[in-house]
Structure 1
Amino acid sequence: MQIDKIDVFTIGFTQTSAERFFNRLDKAGIKTVIDVRLHNTSQLAAFAKADDLAFFLLKINNISYVHQPLLAPTDAMLKAYKKEKGDWDVYEKRFINLMEERKIEQRLTPKMFEGACLLCSEALPHHCHRRLVCDYLNEKWNGALSVRHL
Structure 2
Amino acid sequence: MIFTWSGGTEDAAARPTYDGNLDKTLGTLQTGYKNINDLNMNNNKAFFSNQTFYINGERYTTRVYYADSAAFKDALKGYEPKPVSYKDSPFFPLEAWHNDNQTQGFAYYTYGEGGTINMFTYVNENKVYQTTDEGNTWQDITPNEK
Shorter-normalised TM-score: what interval? under 0.3
Between structures 1 and 2, the one with greater helix share: 1
Normalising by structure 1, what TM-score? 0.27
Between structures 1 and 2, the one with greater strand share: 2
Bigger RCO (CA 8 Å, 6+ sep): 1
